[in-house]
Amino acid sequence: MSIKQNVTELLNELPSGVQLVAAAKTMDAAKVVEAIEAGIEIIGENYIQEAEAKYNIIGKRVKWHFIGHLQSNKVKKAVAIFDMIETVDSVEIASAINKRCIETGKVMPVLIEINSGAEEQKSGVLPEKAASVIKEISGLTGIKVMGLMTMGILAGEPEESRPCFVKTREIFERIKSLDLPGVEMKYLSMGMTNSYEVAIQEGANIVRIGSKIFGQRKV
DSSP string, 150-170: E---SSS-GGGGHHHHHHHHH
> Hey, which residues between 175 and 214 contact ligand PLP (CB under 6 A)?
192-193, 208-212
The nearest distance, CB 46 to ligand PLP, in angstroms, is: 5
The Cα–Cα gap between 95 and 193 comes to 32
The Cα–Cα gap between 118 and 123 comes to 9
User: What does each C-alpha distance from 124 to 51, 113, 152, 176 come to in angstroms?
Assistant: 21, 5, 11, 19
- Establish if 23 lies at the interface with ligand PLP (CB under 6 A): yes
Among 8, 19, 46, 95, interactor with ligand PLP by CB under 6 A: 46
Q: Are residues 214 and 35 in contact, defined by beta-carbon separation less than 8 angstroms?
A: yes
- Establish if 152 lies at the interface with ligand PLP (CB under 6 A): no
- Establish if 143 lies at the interface with ligand PLP (CB under 6 A): no
Please choose, from the candidates 183, 155, 153, the residue with its C-alpha nearest in 3D space to the C-alpha of residue 168. Answer: 153
- Establish if 54 lies at the interface with ligand PLP (CB under 6 A): no
What residue number has its CB nearest to ligand PLP? Answer: 210
| One character per residue 68-97, x = contact with ligand PLP (rule: CB under 6 A) | ------------------------------
Which residues contact ligand PLP by CB under 6 A? 23, 25, 46, 67, 151, 192-193, 208-212
